[in-house]
Every structure is written in C-alpha cells, then in structure tokens.
A and B are shown apart, each in its own frame.
Chain A
Amino acid sequence: MDRAILTSGLTKRYGHRTAVDRLSLQVRKGEIYGFLGLNGAGKTTTIRLLLGMIRPSEGSAWVFGVRVYPGALELWSRVGYLVETPGAYPELTVRENLEVFRRLRRVADPKAVERAIERLGLGPYADRRAVTLSLGNRQRLGLAKALLHDPDLLILDEPMNGLDPAGIVEIRALLQELVHQRGVTVFMSSHLLGEVARIATRIGVMHEGRLIQELGTEELVRRCRRWLVVDARDRRAARAILEAAGFSVDSGENGELVVTGDHAIACPDDVARLLLERNMCLTRLSVEQEDLESYFLRLIGVAPGGER
C-alpha cells in the first residue's frame, strides 16, 4: 500500500449547496500534493473530511488504509494538521501550548516541545503568551503543533498564510526536508499557485467542489501557453513578412507582435533571421510564458479581470 490518502466519491452537502462533489483522489506516500482552488472551492471542507471533523454526505476517505472516522485514534497519531487560521490558548505561553498538545498527542519524549520550538524558529517567543504573538508567529505555532509528534502525513490548510517572505522560504525548505529526509507525505491546500508549484510534486485543482484537474508540476508548467514576442521599428512591415512566411501573428497590448506556433517558440532565431534578411530593425525578441495564475484562471474559466 503506497497510498497515504485515498478518497472515493467523497461528497459533502450543506442543505442544497454541495461543498465537495464526488471527489476521488489519491496521494502517494512521500509526495507533496498541492491542493489548489479559489476561496470557497471546497479545499478546507475536503481537509476537514480527511480529518474526520465533518461527516461525508456520500463516499468515504481512507488515510494509510484506515477509513477516516473520529475514533481512529491510532491513525491520528500518524497525522499532523493545520486547519485554516491556527488557534492557540491565549493565556498560555508558546511552550505551554505545545506541552498541552505533546501530552494530548501522547508523545512520551518531553524534548519534543523544544525540538518543535527550534524547528519553527519560535525560540525567542517560547515564554511569551500566545495572545501576544503576531499572525506569522501564530502560524508557526500552528505548524509546530502539526510537527510535534513527527507525523508521517501532514495535512496543511494554507500553511503559508501570514508568513513573511523569509518565513515562506523557511517553511518551504522545512517541508521539503521532511519529505526528502523522512519520507513524510504532505497534502497542502493553497490559493497561491506560484507557491504550490515551487514545492508540490503533484497538483489537484478544485473548483466549485469538484476536482477539475490533477497533474504533475512539470506537466503544469508544460501546459502553460508560450509565445514569441517580436517588436520592430516598422511593425506593419514585420507583421506582413511573418504572415507571408506562414507564422500566426497577433498584436500585443502595446502593439508588439505576438507570434504563436511551435516552430516560432522552438526556433526564435529563424524568426529573427527572416526579419533581418528583409532589413527589419528588431527592438525585441523574447519567448514568454503564461504565468501560473493565468493558467489557473483559464482552467477554471475565469478571466484575469475576474469575469467568467
């Protein structure tokens, strides 16, 4: 059994609204699975279903081959999680908050708390009451709770929320280290496609409760559209030359020429040579790629401006 997570027809309805619609996905052990979607796409509901916090209307979920239900105590000792904005007991210090969960998680080693504090860079705040923590440090405390018991599976809902750029890099490195050195499986949701693409090995895209695409990160990058941008002193003449040579040419936002087609993208030097042979003065020649956000919005049928 190499699957850490398996769901089959997992559905959650609230009255007439379907939050998660017949979700069937598999996450292999040792994988970082990025779970993408807009706000309200059903990511957090899926995570709650995976953790037994809510009951499915239909279908079921298995984690490490165990069917998810609230009483799966053995299973929960192998899972660390962070759901939405992490909470903390405000009157307890960071260390005490972690100590509470060390005991509730039945971790015998008292040093686990210190290790978690060190791992998440919470040392300077260890004896501060949680109520005084910044949003970023609260997020770190939430992650420390998730990692306290060295879990085999991390289920993280928007783990980068509230972190500053240095914190994001640090947590990304930490997750990669856990996956590569300890074989931990990470299932993380996010609405930040660029962030997920940097770390995930596979990506699932949720939209309106449904998994509309699942692909490897390399495949995702490959599927993003590419084009060649050409600009010349005499744009009209350059366009005529390219079209006469069989290239497909459009105009860009600022009047530059946008050349599409595999040959133009693979061999921009051919395009350059063609134009130079006709005495065109080139001012720009570059292969550009659709950014991941644009691809994501195109995939779910939303225009960059927000229109469908």
Chain B
Amino acid sequence: MTGFTAAMWAEVLKTVRSKVPWLAALGISLAPLMGGVFMLILKDPAWARRFGLVSAKAQISAGAADWPTYFSLLAQAVAVGGLIVFALIAVWVFGREYTDRTVADLLALPTSRVVIVIAKFVVVTTLSTMLAALVYALGLVTGGVVGLPGWSLWLAACAAGRLMATAGLTVVLITPFAWAASAGRGYLPPVGAVFLVLFLSQVIAALGWGAYFPWSVPALYSGVAGSELQELSLGSCLLVMLTGVLGVAGTLTWWWLADQP
C-alpha cells in the first residue's frame, strides 16, 4: 500500500462514517426540490395564486415553467448553493483535524503531509462532484414528475455539461477555504470567510464586476445574471484557476512549513 492509497483509505473511511456528507446531500437536495415547486407554481398559475407572495416571487425569478428554465435554475443552485455546501465540506475535511486534535497525529508519519493534503482535496472534489450529480439526477426526476415541457436529450446533455462545469468551477474556488480551515485551526474562521465571500460575490456581481471576482464567475457562467447563459471569458477562467492553484499551494505550504499545534 502506497502512502497515497493509505491516505485515501483513511479519508474515505472518515467521510463514510461521518454524518456530514449525508447532511450536505440533504441540504443540496433542497435545490432541485424547491426548483420543482417553483416550476409547479409557474406551470399552474391558478393553483399557484393560492400561495400569494410565493407565486409572485416565483414569477419574477424563474420565468417560464419548462426544462431550459429549470436546468438553468439547477446550474444557478450549484453555483450559489454549491459554493456554500462544497466550501463547508472542505472546511470540515481540513478543519476537523484541528477541532478533533488529530492533526498532531498526522505530522510525523512515514506518509508525507503533502500526500495527506492531496488525499483530502481528492475527497473534497469527489464528494462535491457527486453532490452536483445528485442535484442533476434529482432535477431530472423532479422535472419529470412536474411534467415540464421542452424536453430533449440534447438539452439534457447540454444542461448536464453546464451544471457539471459550474460545479467544477465552484470546486476549484473552494480550495482557499481549505487553507483558511488549516490556518484558522478549526471551523469558525473559514465558515466566516465562506459567508463573507458569498456576500461579496453577490454584491460585486450586482455591480457588474463579477467577471473580475473569481467567486462570482460560476454564478455568472450558470446564467444567474439573466436568462441567457454566459460563456466564460479567458480572463475569468484564468482568475478561477489562479485562485484554485493559490488555494492548493497555500494549504500545502501551510501543512508543510507552518508551526502546527
């Protein structure tokens, strides 16, 4: 067994035994289900009027009740909700070692700290990708149950690509929170950072500068700014990649060089 296999085995066991992934799945499952409720309201306005304000709000944010709109909603949910849920997973995977005081046990082993950090990132990425896939799968079932019009296999494939690409961008952007959990030695500082970044991403996107703020980019790409989906500019793409690389490098450097508790 190589060091990486051992580290992966350990991380997977810790993840499987924990309630956190299940709670994350439950949390992110609300997105397609709530989207389905909006679609239901939009599809049958007479029935929806009985819901008063909820109906009015659904009209404003969602537009038409069809598959393209619903798929767009799902991608936006992954961009915004995913930023929170995926980031919290990263915070948990890294921060727990400090909160459970197990980090000291990981620092002087024949398995390198670098390998352990990489295994953690692999688990965060895999889990986040699975959650994005869960959103899509639940979306397909929910949309089918609601009976949305406008279905085509091509549309479903394109929507899957868009959703998974949005999830990919979001996953890349959560790496700095792994560093924050390590440097902050626990959960609270990085959780604060997650919500601060989420707030800033909304404000900066609303001001029209979202393409220059990495954490606004996935939401813009998912089409949150309008009904038309936006293509990713090279600059935005590079900004996201640079943020991801800095997050990974920062976390690795922290585990390797910083004084540990």
Contacts and interface: CB of A to CB of B under 8 A. Distances in A.
B24 to A, nearest CB: 15
B18 to A, nearest CB: 5
Determine which residue in B3, B19, B260 has the highest number of CB atoms from chain A within 10 A of its CB, and name it.
B260
A88 B17 CA distance: 14
A92 B110 CA distance: 22
A70 interface: yes
B259 interface: yes
A236 interface: no
Interface residues of B, number: 31
Contact of A100 (B10, B113, B257, B259): B10
A55 B257 contact: yes
Given A71-B112, A79-B108, A89-B102, A103 B17 contact: no
B17 A92 contact: yes
Task: Indicate the member of B10, B105, B113 with the most A CB atoms within 10 Å.
Answer: B105
Contact of A89 (B14, B116, B261): B14
A106 B13 contact: no
B102 A70 contact: no
Interface in B76-120: 100-113, 116
A83 B9 CA distance: 24
Nearest to B106: A104
Interface in B4-19: 6-7, 9-10, 13-14, 17-19
A85 interface: yes
A29 interface: no
Interface stretch (A46-54, A195-203, A262-270): A46-54
Given A100-B14, A145-B105, 12 more contacts: A71-B112, A73-B112, A77-B110, A85-B101, A87-B104, A91-B18, A96-B13, A100-B9, A103-B6, A104-B3, A106-B1, A106-B110
Sorted nearest first, the 6 A-B pairs with minimum C-beta distance are: A87-B101, A103-B6, A54-B259, A87-B102, A77-B110, A51-B108
24 contacts: A52-B108, A53-B259, A55-B257, A70-B107, A73-B110, A74-B110, A76-B109, A79-B108, A85-B101, A86-B105, A87-B100, A87-B103, A87-B105, A88-B102, A89-B102, A90-B100, A91-B17, A92-B14, A96-B13, A96-B17, A103-B6, A103-B10, A104-B6, A106-B111
